[in-house]
Amino acid sequence: MAALSLLLTLLAGGVAALALCSALVVRFKSPQPRPRHDSENYSLCIDEKHERQRLGSLWDEARVDLSVIVPAYNEEERLPVLLNDIREYVAHRRESGSLSYELIIMDDGSKDRTSEVALEFARMHGICELRVVKHVVNRGKGGAVTQGVLSATGRHILFCDADGATRFSDIDALLARMGDGPVIAIGSRNNQALSGTVVERSHLRAFLQWGFHTYVTLLGVRGVRDTQCGFKLFSRQAARMVFPNMHVERFIFDIEILLLARYQHIAVAEVPVNWHEVAGSKMSIVRDSIQMALDLLAVRLNYLLGSWVIKNAVARSAAGLRVHNAAAPASGLARQYSSKSYPDHLLVGMPALSPTMTQGNVGQWQKSVGDKIEPGDVLVEIETDKAQMDFEFQEEGYLAKILAPTGTKDLKIDSPVAIIVENEADVAAFADFSLDQAGTPASPAAASQSAPAESAREAATPVASAQPSTNAAEGDRIFASPLAKTLAREKGIDLAQVSGSGPRGRIVKSDIEGFVATKAAAPSAAASAPAPAPAPARAAEAASAPAAAAKKAAAPAPAASAGFTDIPVTNMRKVIASRLTEAKSTIPHYYLTQNIKMDNVNKLRQSLNTAANGAYKLSVNDFVIKAAASALRDVPEVNSSWQGEFIRQHHHADIAVAAATPAGLITPIVKTCDAKGLRAISSDVRDLVARARANKLKPEEFQGGSFTISNLGMYGITSFSAIINPPHAAILSVGSTEPQLVVDPTAEKGFKSVDVMSVQLSADHRVVDGATGAQFLKAFKGYLENPLTLLL
């Protein structure tokens, strides 16, 4: 007993000590925003000749496409590099279309000429979109970013570090992950092995980042590999939900952003970026690391203990729809969506997985009802207008209901596809949930006021009868459970003739059974009545979109005597048909053919593969890609694209390699082939083609490029004409290698057999003249007939 008493005393003492330490950390170490000076509500810009201009507001309507926030403290040397990078990106974007933007430099109490350098750069290059906000004293990176975002007017808002460590053009990859509703896309320096992006980091920095990530994970911030990358993009709605709640003004503010996103169920996408370490960091490794550790503990405790309260009440995310009660704990989910008292749940919508996607098809579900979902798990395969891709869900929970089964076609973005709950015990409550009950949540007051009336209506609802429902007037929507709809379809019953006994007059299974019994009791009346016509389609109803799409998904039945089968056209096939028809009808094609002796390539390839001893295996196509890249470097006019008002000449050979997949043709892109060796090209091609056939490509891996190669030689095709892949200026079609007899005076018989490959260049005459195309083929032939030059 004495030992047990001692143990309990020690345990109680430990708990008390922990509580005391937590209270002390919250009381004395909690980061607090500093008061703002009046002058910080204004900015300087070259348009106004350094006159003060009042800042905009995050709560106003968006006025530009993109706001770029750059926090800067004593950055007069490094800032011009970033500004030039941004200027080149904007010029590039405006060449292919319009882009409105604003660039806000948050001078965080700098003691050097940071503000002057920024304004001088803007004046030199005529950048009237640049504004400078000067803090009287240094507030910290988080404080500078927060104030910048709160004054942003962009539809999308990016903050990026002033050192330019991340290539600014990588914002395109982040923008591709933006959808409707609140979304945050963050640059990641930890996915380079999968993405092919470049990262250059010192060993010390890599070790510290590993330790910090472990500490962050232990404190409950999971699902994000790189929390501190200074390259984060916010939809305007996500920014409105996050930054008014921010408390931290120092380095740890990135963690608070992710915590606020998690508490409010904002979708967070982690996107690989190109990054390199830049000298001149203002961060003290030892001092700031200790401060960050204390700040992180304080932030976590403040939210756990309720000292900090989230102000936002409603969140609408790209991953789903959820309504929050601001007075409830941060872990609370949504209240019910219908008159039935369902547990709190998340309504998951069809995601936008590519910039041009407006609708998608539902592929194979990777999770079943009842399965636990972790952040980053693949929920379902989605067929977009470009390819079939995985939909990775970024929240924890359990799959309670699948609303759009495998095979559902043409589902619009944000249409409901699934229900997610936080507690496993709540899964069973959604067994009979249908889209009829997935309406937009009303306000709590409206819901409470309507409850008595709703109960009265339910009590007064008559049982099923053969009389038409009063709610089934022509053009009105009929509410019925999935089981009732299935039963009605099987028995040929028009739902408009059935009265519903469920909530709000919803038709349920017992109503259908009662209707059948009534018809059976009056056979004469039933016999004289005309056969019920099918209910009219109501595809315009947003909540019934998946059900309507599921009907549309069914393949037309083959005619019994026609001798043919109608095959539904996939989204990818529609895109292929549209793009190739447009390309063939609008691009002035011409064709050049060349025969190339491949004996030297075959010999060199065999020698290299033998020397590799299984480490790699080069194919003829690898030599073709490398030779094409080298020829594009020699004849850059071919490495171009038609842009309507101008011709864009690309600096690198990004070669799209046509690959056949079960779903159709796709062209994954091998980046910077001109700077890679044969082994790297071979590895990239194998990886990209394998993932293309498994529908695992990311949008940035098959969109863009500067030149295309289509190789059908492995099928025995000797020569063919390919259609140009716009906006590329040319495509090279490659045939098989065949033995041919050629005259050779040195041979005993006066001739010899050589291996010859036929290639054909399809070129856009608006961009590439015939002589230029011939120069390209000459250079290409030279590299393949003298393949040792490819190794130089």
Among all residues, which ones are annotated catalytic? 765, 769
By the 8 A CB rule, do 184 and 267 touch? yes
- Hey, what are 68's tokens? 């770029």
How many other CB atoms are found less than 10 A from the CB of residue 524? 7
**Residue-wise burial string across 556-579, b where 16 or more C-beta atoms lie within 10 A, e elsewhere:** eeeeeeeeeeeeeeebbeebbeee
In 3D space, the residue among 393, 334, 337, 383 whose CA is nearest the CA of residue 361 turns out to be 383
d(CA 381, CA 390): 5
Q: Alpha carbon of 60 to those of 551, 723, 748: distances in Å?
A: 42, 47, 86
d(CA 288, CA 292): 6
d(CA 789, CA 792): 5
d(CA 308, CA 332): 15
In 3D space, the residue among 201, 269, 262 whose CA is nearest the CA of residue 235 turns out to be 269
d(CA 400, CA 420): 5
d(CA 253, CA 63): 27
Question: Crossing angle of helices 2-28/285-304, nearest 10°?
Answer: 110
- Hey, what are 533's tokens? 């016509």
Rounded to 10 degrees, the C-alpha dihedral 379/381/382/388 comes to 150
By the 8 A CB rule, do 451 and 382 touch? no
By the 8 A CB rule, do 730 and 765 touch? no
In 3D space, the residue among 707, 712, 705 whose CA is nearest the CA of residue 759 turns out to be 712
* Residue 117 φ/ψ region, left for φ over 0, alpha for ψ in the -120 to 50 degree band, beta for the rest: alpha
> Counting beta carbons within 10 angstroms of the beta carbon of residue 451, is it exposed (0 to 12), middle (13 to 18) or buried (19 or more)?
exposed
C-alpha 292: how far from chain center: 30
3 state SS of 554: coil
* E strand or H helix at 131: strand 130-134
d(CA 219, CA 299): 10
By the 8 A CB rule, do 537 and 548 touch? yes
Beta bridge partners of 642: 647
Rounded to 10 degrees, the C-alpha dihedral 440/445/449/451 comes to 50
CA atoms within 13 Å, Cβ hemisphere of 531: 4
Question: Crossing angle of helices 620-634/678-693, nearest 10°?
Answer: 110
How many other CB atoms are found less than 10 A from the CB of residue 444? 12
Q: Alpha carbon of 554 to those of 413, 563, 709: distances in Å?
A: 20, 20, 36
* E strand or H helix at 770: helix 770-785
Alpha helices in 531-588 (DSSP H): 545-553, 571-586
Scanning the structure block, which residue is given the tokens 């207008």?
385
In angstroms and rounded to an integer, the radius of gyration of the C-alpha atoms of the chain is 32
Q: Alpha carbon of 126 to those of 47, 120, 260: distances in Å?
A: 10, 10, 38
